[in-house]
Amino acid sequence: MTTIDHNAGFFSNCSVRLHYIVKYLNEHGSLPPFVDTSRSFDWYKKKEGDITFEYFKHYDTIEIEVPERPIDYNWDKQFENYKTCMDYPVISQLVHKYFTPSEKIIEKVEFLENKYCIDYTNTCAIFHRGTDKINETEIPDFSVYIAKAREILEREPNTRFLLQSDDTKFIEKLTNEFPYNSFYFKDEIIHVDLDLSDDQWRQVRGAPFYNGYFYRKTSDHFEYSKIFLAVILIMAKCKHVICGSGNCSVWIVKYRGNPDGVQQFLNGTWL
């Protein structure tokens, strides 16, 4: 049995879960017969128990070929070059078995696709993970994202930009830059205006974050986490992705199955 005892942001939990599955596989040459996640995802629970299969189909229902070679993977791939840091054919199999979205999540994806008329063939996702992520990695200025977006727009004038961020100012800035060919999930996502007064910062400093969104912004973290998973799945399906580096970004690429069409900002440069 593989037991996961990790509680942090949603996709941090996912990265650690995959880490221990790979660790078991490398050590035993077989997939773990049981993956215990009852002590993970605690930030999103309304009651005790394992909520993993609210998000993902049960791995027992999905068959894959057991990889024969050792897998180079650890939970902290979020801060490596996504074009070279993973054995995608193997990782994609494991993502398929252990992280295929549940029917409830698929319904949310389809709802958002229809509501916002998403055509993946001409959509570029721009994902900016701000707020507390500055403590872990370099976050580019908004103008850096805009310049990269304009490069794509120059080559493909019909591009429509899907904006996703936890920073209100980012959404406002890019909406103003691309007023006629951008959109964001305005009724579904939560973002934070970082221009707070000293008193306001004293109230929220040290408060737990949920993928960059202050807890106080939503009363139902479980429902919101399902929406956010659906958003990540949607970004993974876009023709182009412009993103920084972090657990959310790396899971966009894992669900994509390859780094093609992904522009990743890491350590001051685009990869």
For 220-240, write each residue's pLDDT tens digit.
778 889 999 999 999 999 999
The verdict on 156 and 88 lying in the same domain is no
pLDDT above 90 for 184: yes
Domain of residue 218: give its range.
117-270
Mean pLDDT, to the nearest integer, of 198-206? 47
Mean pLDDT (the chain) is: 88
Q: How far apart are CA 169 and CA 254, in angstroms?
A: 28
The verdict on 246 and 126 lying in the same domain is yes
The verdict on 64 and 160 lying in the same domain is no
Structure tokens belonging to residue 172 = 């406002």
SS3 269: strand
Which CATH number fits the domain that encloses residue 224?
3.40.50.11350
pLDDT score of 222: 86
For 7-32, write each residue's pLDDT tens digit.
888 999 999 999 999 999 999 999 99
Q: How far apart are CA 95 and CA 246, in angstroms?
A: 17
The verdict on 81 and 144 lying in the same domain is no
The verdict on 123 and 67 lying in the same domain is no
pLDDT above 90 for 80: yes
Q: Does 140 fall in a domain?
A: yes
SS3 60: helix
The verdict on 189 and 121 lying in the same domain is yes
Q: Does 248 fall in a domain?
A: yes
The verdict on 146 and 191 lying in the same domain is yes
Q: Does 139 fall in a domain?
A: yes
Residues constituting the chain: 271
The verdict on 161 and 85 lying in the same domain is no
| 88 contacts 212 by C-beta, under 8 angstroms | no
pLDDT score of 204: 47
The verdict on 125 and 151 lying in the same domain is yes
pLDDT higher for 210 or 41? 41
The verdict on 87 and 160 lying in the same domain is no
| 149 contacts 265 by C-beta, under 8 angstroms | no
Measuring CA to CA, how many Å separate 123 from each of 28, 86, 108, 151, 268?
42, 25, 19, 14, 25
Tell me the pairing of strands 269-270 and 262-266: antiparallel
The verdict on 147 and 225 lying in the same domain is yes
Q: Does 109 fall in a domain?
A: no
The verdict on 126 and 236 lying in the same domain is yes
| 2 contacts 40 by C-beta, under 8 angstroms | no
